[in-house]
Amino acid sequence: MMKSSDSRAYQAHTDIPLIILVAAMSLMGIVAVCVATYSPDSSPDVSFLNHVVESSYTMRQCLFVLVAPLVVGVLMALPYHFLYSRAEWIYWGMVILLTVVTITNRAQGVKAWLDVIWGYTIQPSEFAKLSIILILAKQLSRSNHPMNTLRSFMRIMLTVLLPSAIILAEGETGSMLVIIFLTAVMLYFGNVSLKILGGLAGTAILLVLSIYALAVATGSNDYRLARIYGFLNPELYSSSDAYQILQSQMAIGSGGLTGIGMFVDGAISQLNYVPADWTDFIYATIGEAWGFAGCVTVLLLYVLIILRMLYLAWFTRDRFGRLVICGVMGMLLFHIFENIAMTLGLMPITGIPLPFLSYGGSNMVTNMGGVGLVLNVTRNRSLSDAISTPQTFFNPYRFSTRFKTRPY
């Protein structure tokens, strides 16, 4: 018989702890962007509000954070059946939008942005992550053993590869890697056979190594290959492709234990020695301003967010809803790991922003949209959906024993 405490954990609710954690990270992001875009011409003695007003990036970030509750509220309010029944519509709508951006964008290099109004742009590849999460959750929830037939295998693979190929054609390697990782997480928690997962992983590794070997053999000067060279030998490429990594390490190291403080004249962030230190390299700004203590605080908050989502998935009986939570968790987890690792020089640069902290509207809306989907799932739980208990959640060999529930 289920204990009353377990019953409460399964009940429908709006998860306040998750909202508080995300709100705290978003407010910290505003402060970090303001520090990163602090002008050398500004006086360090003026108030923080003046610093905010003087920075156009910070003002825009404030706007993005103010819009975030609206995004979360809309996705929370959408009928749960709508998310399930219209997953294909959302997916194909995003595929069409990605195709339009790729065809119409005349920029050199990365072609991932679409101009909208008043100088603002959107990045559809960010929104595509949520559409893939929804469609994969629906496909994987239909069976306790997905991908066990050739038809199921091909359908799921094509679902992921089509938008991934378009995004790669745009030059957005980072977003493609995020999609691959969240797909792997959802396949694992969707009870896909470990043999199939191992085969896919091995194929992916061989493909990457083959492409790298071909690029080296042909003498390609692609910027993505140059980033890998800079990562492998930063001293040799210190003046070009590894410059950003080395400057980021220097900024974090200069922060020491507690940091040099905010709005300090002569700071590395103030003098713009770290390129994009308000977007992809915001963690370097945090390390310089607040030191090791600030970096650990950020990591702790991220760990709490990931663990909270894992907890919510644990106590969600509906397969579709559970896989949505796992997909959002996988998306955020890869962003966090890759961004912080590349800032520290432990991974090559991929242009992946840090969730809730980096400047950027599309990424903020996508992350908040993911949180909205998670909250939608928790608000639409039903105690009558349960067949199994959560104690079997982490059986790594038979996911059907972890989540022995009927499809949505």
Which CA distances in Å does 144 have to 16, 134, 149, 408? 31, 17, 12, 11
Confidence of residue 3 (pLDDT cuts 50, 70, 90): low
Work out the angle between the directed axes of helices 243-254 and 223-232 (0-180°, nearest 10): 50
Report DSSP letters for 224-262, one per residue.
HHHHHHHHH-TTTTTTTTTHHHHHHHHHHHHTTTT-S-S
pLDDT of residue 395: 43
Q: Which of 242-246, 340-344, 388-392 is predicted most confidently?
A: 340-344
What would the pLDDT profile of 49-81 be if each residue is shown by its tens digit? Answer: 877 888 888 889 999 899 888 989 999 888 888
Q: Is the pLDDT of residue 217 over 70?
A: no
Q: Is the pLDDT of residue 370 over 70?
A: yes
302: containing domain? 12-402
pLDDT of residue 265: 77
Q: Is 207 within the bounds of a domain?
A: yes
**Do residues 139 and 156 make contact, with C-beta atoms less than 8 angstroms apart?**
yes
- Residue 54 phi/psi, 5-degree rounding, is -75, -15
pLDDT of residue 233: 61
Beta-ladder partners of 121: 115
Q: Is the pLDDT of residue 407 over 50?
A: no
* Rounded Cα gap, residues 48 and 35, in angstroms: 10
Residue with tokens 């059986």: 395
pLDDT of residue 92: 94
Q: Is 407 within the bounds of a domain?
A: no
Beta-ladder partners of 114: 122
Confidence of residue 388 (pLDDT cuts 50, 70, 90): very low
Tokens of 330: 């996988």
Global confidence as pTM: 0.86
Report the chain's mean pLDDT, rounded to a whole number.
81
Three-state secondary-structure class, residue 384 = helix
DSSP H or E segment with residue 217: helix 194-218
Confidence of residue 1 (pLDDT cuts 50, 70, 90): very low
Q: Is 195 within the bounds of a domain?
A: yes
CB atoms within 10 A of CB 37: 24
pLDDT of residue 294: 93
As a whole number, mean pLDDT of residues 227-249 equals 67
Angle of CA points 279, 360, 272, to nearest 5°: 30
- Residue 188 phi/psi, 5-degree rounding, is -65, -50
Q: Is 3 within the bounds of a domain?
A: no
pLDDT of residue 255: 85
* Rounded Cα gap, residues 243 and 238, in angstroms: 5
Beta-ladder partners of 120: 117
Tokens of 174: 């980072």
Q: Is 4 within the bounds of a domain?
A: no
Which CA distances in Å does 403 have to 91, 261, 356? 26, 48, 31
**Do residues 165 and 128 make contact, with C-beta atoms less than 8 angstroms apart?**
no
pLDDT of residue 224: 63
pLDDT of residue 170: 79
Q: Is the pLDDT of residue 322 over 50?
A: yes
* Rounded Cα gap, residues 102 and 238, in angstroms: 33
pLDDT of residue 393: 42
Confidence of residue 266 (pLDDT cuts 50, 70, 90): confident
CA atoms within 13 A of residue 187's CA, in its CB half-sphere: 24
pLDDT of residue 119: 63
Q: Is 1 within the bounds of a domain?
A: no
Q: Is 20 within the bounds of a domain?
A: yes
Q: Is the pLDDT of residue 315 over 60?
A: yes
Alpha helix segments (H runs only) across 38-149:
48-54, 56-77, 80-85, 87-104, 124-141
Tokens of 220: 């390609």
**Do residues 35 and 269 make contact, with C-beta atoms less than 8 angstroms apart?**
yes
Q: Is 7 within the bounds of a domain?
A: no
Nearest to 357 by CA among 27, 16, 19, 21: 27
- 330 burial level (CB within 10 Å; 0-12, 13-18, 19+): buried
Tokens of 215: 């690029």
**Do residues 153 and 196 make contact, with C-beta atoms less than 8 angstroms apart?**
yes
As a whole number, mean pLDDT of residues 178-183 equals 92
**Do residues 257 and 293 make contact, with C-beta atoms less than 8 angstroms apart?**
yes
Instruction: Count how many domains the chain has.
Output: 1
Radius of gyration of the chain from Cα atoms?
Answer: 22
Q: Is the pLDDT of residue 17 over 80?
A: yes
- Give the residue, 196 or 333, on which the prediction is more confident: 333
pLDDT of residue 405: 46
Confidence of residue 238 (pLDDT cuts 50, 70, 90): low
What would the pLDDT profile of 123-172 be if each residue is shown by its tens digit? Answer: 888 889 999 999 999 999 888 878 888 888 899 999 999 999 888 887 78
